[in-house]
Amino acid sequence: MKKVGFIIFGFGLLSILACTGPFTRISTDVLPRDDQGKVFYAELEKVIQKYGASDASSFPVDGFPYLRTNRFLAAIKDQSAWLQDGHHWTQQMLTLGVASRRKEIGNLPDAAILELSQTNAESLDRQIIIQKAEAFAQRLFASDQSHPDFLKLLQQAVWVPDEYSTLARLIGFYTLAGIPVTAATAVAYGRYEKWHQAEQSELDLLGTLTQYMPQLETESVDPGFIIKLYDPGNLDVFGLPKLTSQDVRKLAFKFAPIIRQDVAETYDRIGRIEWQNDQVRVDISQPSVYYYVSQSFMAGHPVLQLNYAFWYPERAGKNAPWIERGPLDGVTYRVTLDQTGHAAMVDIMNTCGCYFFFVPQKESIAKIVTKPGEIAPLVPTWLPPEFPQQRLLLRVNSGWHQVQHIGTDDRSLDTQSYALIPYGVLESLPKTNGQYESVFTPAGIMKDSWRIEPFIFFSMGIADIGYMRQRGHHAIKMVGRGHFTDPHLYDDTFQFK
């Protein structure tokens, strides 16, 4: 019996390890690297880890310290149609790597910069370290590419962990714990469907409706702007438009939503994230929405996404379930353009990853797919036909901050303007002492955000469930597994016409 027990334990352990990533570290010893670059990155990474300055917006690539990846790029490695010679794919990861290192070095305290100077036996300031990191990245990238096995080694190394712990699920008797969670989810989904089928006037109102719109841009968006972006001559290897920062800004403005908020208390006002006495807080005197772009697949084609996150001081009030109440709250709204640049999908979640739902263009959907053993996806309504010619309007309730209705701009209320701010600002935010620091931990959790939910739902295997999270770290299912940034999310959920 003991032998049988050990065998069962062994298989259980193997199943846990199988869900945590590759068994062996990828060896890059065959690559022709200079020792100077390897030593520099080893020392830099050691200091970044020591001072907790790791940027979690993208994921490290084992054995390639100058690269970072994400779920979309990790999926590309198996797509021969877009991989071609691999140059564009690897260049995208180099770009992510450089961007993350800039943030990490920028967020190091002065003591860490001094430590790096002493280790290197030379006087280094922050800008010099950034320049050295970028120069070594280019050198290592160029030398690595010269090796015939470079692409093969890189494909083996690129991997993104999920946000679920198989071990926590086993310890917490996930199969049993999932039964009441499934029932509660069905109730919540029913509530969402009722909200979205009702007229706005039928929704409960605890305070006063306040409407936020994006500030007018100094440069208007040309009606033919998107057509130009999707001109074949402007598309990359993946079939995605080549975007400048100005292009991203214009796209962000074009698809930015109207937020119609039920304001009962100050916790219902959106604002700008800032540091106050070394704590992350929301300044409601400066309404703001943070934007960034991402990529996914739709109908088998790479597509572009515009993401918007807006933040509240807290989740509170009688609407919010008591277990979900706590400081800092947020909503993330995403618009996905199809391969021709038409807005084909919207999806929305609270920025903990909770209450995720789809709002597709009805004409493009042939069927909604439900995976065996999983809860049917929530599709409570369809995109209004007036969108995107008119801005999408999100009706948000008080305290709980759930999107209860999707409409378009009817100009029936006086509005306040909100500023559109690049999301990257949150990942290197200035403090009053002149230092910079990310508002997110190295695990991708928003600092000073907390809930009691992890003590109740730990069996679901999601660390810090209910806390606000950084881009790339949103688990969107409590039963089953799912990620906001899963590049196959749409194709696994819908059959497109």
* Look-up of token digits 């990257």: 424
User: What pLDDT, in 10s, does the model give residues 72-120?
Assistant: 999 999 887 788 778 999 999 999 999 999 999 999 999 999 999 888 7
pLDDT in the model for residue 486? 97
Angle at 230 between CA 357 and CA 232, to 5 degrees: 135
Other CB atoms within a 10 A radius of the CB of residue 458 amount to 19
* C-alpha distances out from residue 148 to 30, 74, 442, Å: 10, 21, 34
3-state secondary structure of 429: strand
Residue (of 233, 277, 309, 251) closest to 472 by Cα position? 309
Beta partners for residue 220, in sequence order:
none
For the record, the structure tokens of 444 come out as 């991708």
| Cβ burial, residue 204 (10 Å; 0-12/13-18/19+) | exposed
Same domain, 455 and 331: yes
Residue 20 lies in a domain: no
Number of domains in the chain: 2
Query: What gap in Å lies between CA 300 and CA 495, rounded to an integer?
Result: 11
What mean pLDDT comes out for the span 322-349?
Answer: 97
Residue 8 lies in a domain: no
* C-alpha distances out from residue 227 to 81, 173, 210, 341, 360, Å: 24, 52, 34, 7, 21
pLDDT in the model for residue 27? 66
Q: What's the Rg (C-alpha) of the chain?
A: 23
pLDDT in the model for residue 26? 65
Residue 16 lies in a domain: no
Residue 10 lies in a domain: no
Same domain, 208 and 94: no
User: What pLDDT, in 10s, does the model give residues 64-73?
Assistant: 999 999 999 9
pLDDT in the model for residue 3? 45
* C-alpha distances out from residue 282 to 72, 251, 424, Å: 31, 25, 17
Same domain, 200 and 107: no
Same domain, 206 and 347: yes
Rounded (10°) angle between helices 126-145 and 110-120: 60
pLDDT in the model for residue 17? 43
Same domain, 384 and 457: yes
Cα 103 from chain centroid (whole Å):
17
Strands 288-298 and 415-422: parallel
- Indicate the helix (H) or strand (E) that contains 102: helix 87-107
Longest dimension (CA), the chain: 76
3-state secondary structure of 115: helix
Same domain, 147 and 171: no
For the record, the structure tokens of 18 come out as 């199988």
Strands 208-214 and 436-437: unpaired
Same domain, 360 and 411: yes
Rounded (10°) angle between helices 110-120 and 35-50: 150
pLDDT in the model for residue 99? 97
Residue 306 lies in a domain: yes
Same domain, 457 and 344: yes
Cα 113 from chain centroid (whole Å):
29
The residue from 157, 182, 206 where one domain ends is 157
DSSP state of 322: G
3-state secondary structure of 66: strand
Query: What gap in Å lies between CA 203 and CA 405, rounded to an integer?
Result: 9
Query: Amino acid letter at 143?
Result: S
Strands 357-360 and 343-350: antiparallel
Residue 351 and residue 307 in contact, taking contact as beta carbons nearer than 8 Å: no
3-state secondary structure of 67: strand
Residue 227 and residue 290 in contact, taking contact as beta carbons nearer than 8 Å: no
What mean pLDDT comes out for the span 376-404?
Answer: 96
Please state which of the ranges 151-160, 275-284, 372-381, 485-494 shows the lowest mean pLDDT: 372-381
User: What pLDDT, in 10s, does the model give residues 252-270?
Assistant: 999 999 999 999 999 999 9
Please check the confidence at residue 34 and state whether its pLDDT lies above 70.
yes
Query: Amino acid letter at 305?
Result: Q
The residue from 113, 134, 157 where one domain ends is 157
The residue from 119, 136, 157 where one domain ends is 157
3-state secondary structure of 262: strand
pLDDT in the model for residue 4? 40
Residue 17 lies in a domain: no
Same domain, 120 and 191: no
Residue (of 384, 361, 51, 415) closest to 214 by Cα position? 415
pLDDT in the model for residue 389? 92
pLDDT in the model for residue 23? 46
Output phi, psi for 108, to 5 deg. Answer: -70, 140
Residue 19 lies in a domain: no
Alpha helices in 198-262 (DSSP H): 225-229, 245-255
Same domain, 359 and 473: yes
For the record, the structure tokens of 117 come out as 């100077």
Please check the confidence at residue 7 and state whether its pLDDT lies above 70.
no
Residue 3 lies in a domain: no
| Predicted confidence band of residue 474 (pLDDT cuts 50, 70, 90) | very high
User: What pLDDT, in 10s, does the model give residues 125-150?
Assistant: 899 999 999 999 999 999 999 898 99
| Predicted confidence band of residue 280 (pLDDT cuts 50, 70, 90) | very high
| Cβ burial, residue 497 (10 Å; 0-12/13-18/19+) | exposed
Same domain, 147 and 231: no
Please check the confidence at residue 487 and state whether its pLDDT lies above 90.
yes
pLDDT in the model for residue 374? 81
Please check the confidence at residue 213 and state whether its pLDDT lies above 70.
yes
Same domain, 107 and 179: no
Percent of the chain predicted with pLDDT > 70: 94
For 111, the domain range is: 26-157
pTM score, whole prediction: 0.93
| Predicted confidence band of residue 370 (pLDDT cuts 50, 70, 90) | confident
For the record, the structure tokens of 290 come out as 């943070």
3-state secondary structure of 400: coil
pLDDT in the model for residue 35? 82
Beta partners for residue 365, in sequence order:
496
